[in-house]
């Protein structure tokens, strides 16, 4: 999921920076709901920590993803390295205790 979003994220950075608002229904249906489902399955299965709500984990994931996008845009990391770093930071911090 991190790799896929990092690969296409640069296309949407300008829209986010310019605060262009998309259709909230479409954003929820196409992006937020599937991501929420992945995180909910991780929490329910015990692979992700259960002491933080799914929405909070998603918010933290979004921050890691934005950082990965910035690193690729600045040329500090390539796509693969940035994706792997963001996933590692998130999962090592989100792993069940």
pLDDT digit string, tens, across residues 41-62: 999 999 998 999 999 999 998 8
**Which of the pair, 13 or 39, is modelled with greater confidence?**
39
Q: Where are the domains of the chain?
A: 2-94
Q: How confident is the model at residue 18 (pLDDT cuts 50, 70, 90)?
A: low
Backbone angles phi, psi at 19, to 5 degrees: 55, 40
The model carries a pTM of 0.75
Is 72 a residue whose pLDDT tops 80? yes
Q: What is the dihedral of CA 60, 28, 34, 46, to 10 degrees?
A: 40
Is 67 a residue whose pLDDT tops 80? yes
Q: Where do runs of H (alpha helix) occur along 46-78?
A: 54-73
């Amino acid at each position: 999921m991190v790799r896929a979003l990092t690969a296409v994220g640069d296309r949407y950075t300008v829209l986010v920076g310019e605060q262009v608002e998309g259709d909230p229904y479409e954003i929820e249906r196409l992006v937020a709901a599937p991501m929420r489902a992945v995180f909910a399955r991780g929490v329910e299965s015990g692979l992700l920590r259960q002491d933080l709500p799914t929405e909070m984990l998603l918010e933290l994931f979004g921050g890691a993803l934005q950082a990965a996008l910035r690193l690729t845009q600045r040329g500090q990391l390539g796509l693969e390295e940035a994706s792997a770093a963001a996933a590692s930071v998130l999962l090592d911090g989100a792993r069940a205790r």
